[in-house]
């Protein structure tokens, strides 16, 4: 084979592979590049440059039930975590993870928004872009059944200059801590509240009267509310798991759950 054409073929093949590498990062680099302790660093591991493209990264948490922004969490409750990036480019990407004070994975992730995905890296759940986006992503995080100290959402993002290579981009990282609840009703035996029967067919009862009651399905929807009750009729509910969020006579938050059959 003519050496000239052979070298040209290798050059073409190299350019093709380089292009594929760039495109593959557009769908997310994989691994853990959230910038959290114990991660493989952040987006600067692949994206270089000191460009100022107006980048910013803000993390928010919203209580799914009350739709209010929060800075603390309660055991067993679900929160929508928002990752919002500013910047002049229309091509942005991110990775995020939720860790406890020992930098271990905590809680569970669900309902990842369009343009992002979740996967496991080591023992951690990572949420990241699977296509470059405008800079707004969401996912739901459900707190553990028992409060486990403060938790932190770690995130790293990149604002691309869209020049089809990894130079001249702006890398940003941030973290947001949700503080642990001061107290949890279920952790105090003297005021612990029982729910029965469990599983239930027709109704559930509480060992004491509860107030401001919300009955929540697994997908986070409120299916029943009551101002005050000691018994709830659940006969018409579909079979499945449900959560009770209410207050006791001492105005403390109560979390209970049961299985409807």
Q: Tell me whether residue 16 is in a domain.
A: no
One domain, residues 202 and 143: no
Q: Are residues 247 and 224 in the same domain?
A: yes
pLDDT at 78 over 90: yes
Position 236 in a domain: yes
User: Is 7 inside any structural domain?
Assistant: no
pLDDT of 11 above 60: no
> Is the same domain home to 40 and 146?
yes
Q: Cα separation of 146 and 44, whole Å? A: 36
| Pair (150, 201) in one structural domain | no
Domain that holds residue 48: 26-178
The last residue of one of the domains, among 178, 212, 235, is 178
Give 98's Cβ-side CA count (13 Å radius). Answer: 30
Q: Which of 25-34, 94-103, 154-163, 232-241 has the lowest mean pLDDT?
A: 25-34
Tell me the pLDDT tens digit for each residue of 35-62. 899 987 555 545 555 556 667 899 999 9
Same domain, 114 and 221: no
What does the pLDDT read at residue 66? 84
pLDDT in tens, 155-197: 998 887 766 656 657 888 999 999 987 544 444 444 578 999 9
Same domain, 71 and 153: yes
Name the residue among 185, 186, 225, 192 with its Cα closest to residue 207: 192
Alpha-carbon gap, residue 105 to 117, rounded angstroms? 17
Q: What is the CATH number of the domain that holds 127?
A: 2.60.40.4060
* 152 lies in the same domain as 241: no
76 CB-side CA count, 13 A: 19
Total of domains in the chain: 2
Q: Are residues 111 and 230 in the same domain?
A: no
Residue 5 domain flag? no
Q: What is the mean pLDDT of residues 121-128?
A: 94
The domain that holds 205 is classified in CATH as 2.60.40.3080
Strand (E) positions, 11-167?
56-63, 78-86, 92-100, 108-110, 116-121, 124-129, 136-142, 151-159
Q: pLDDT tens across 220-243, in order?
A: 788 999 999 999 999 999 999 888
Give the end of a domain, one of 178, 200, 221.
178
Is 12 domain-assigned?
no
Q: Do residues 31 and 157 share a domain?
A: yes
- Domain endpoint, select from 157, 178, 199: 178
pTM summary value = 0.58
Q: What is the pLDDT of residue 249?
A: 86
With a pLDDT cut of 70, the percent of the chain lying above it is 77
Q: Which residue has the higher pLDDT, 214 or 164?
A: 214
Q: Are residues 114 and 172 in the same domain?
A: yes
């Amino acid at each position: 084979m003519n050496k000239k054409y052979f070298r040209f073929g290798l050059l073409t093949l190299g350019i093709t592979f380089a292009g594929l590498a760039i495109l593959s990062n557009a769908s997310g680099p994989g691994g853990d590049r959230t910038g959290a302790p114990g991660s493989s660093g952040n987006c600067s591991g692949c994206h270089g440059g000191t460009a100022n493209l107006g980048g910013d990264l803000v993390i928010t948490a919203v209580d799914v039930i009350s739709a209010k922004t929060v800075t603390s969490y309660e055991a067993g409750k679900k929160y929508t975590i928002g990752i919002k990036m500013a910047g002049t480019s229309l091509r942005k990407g991110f990775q995020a993870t939720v860790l406890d004070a020992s930098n271990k994975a905590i809680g569970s992730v669900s309902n990842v928004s369009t343009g992002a995905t979740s996967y496991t890296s080591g023992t951690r759940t990572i949420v990241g872009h699977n296509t470059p986006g405008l800079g707004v992503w969401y996912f739901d995080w459900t707190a553990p059944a028992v409060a486990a100290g403060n938790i932190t959402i770690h995130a790293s993002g990149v604002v691309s200059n869209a020049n089809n290579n990894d130079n001249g981009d702006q890398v940003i990282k941030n973290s947001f801590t949700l503080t642990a609840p001061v107290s949890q009703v279920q952790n105090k035996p003297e005021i612990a509240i029982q729910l029965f029967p469990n599983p239930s067919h027709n109704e559930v009862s509480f060992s004491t009267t509860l107030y401001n009651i919300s009955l929540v399905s697994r997908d986070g929807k409120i299916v029943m509310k009551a101002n005050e009750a000691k018994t709830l009729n659940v006969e018409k509910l579909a079979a499945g798991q449900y959560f009770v969020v209410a207050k006791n006579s001492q105005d403390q938050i109560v979390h209970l759950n049961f299985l409807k059959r």
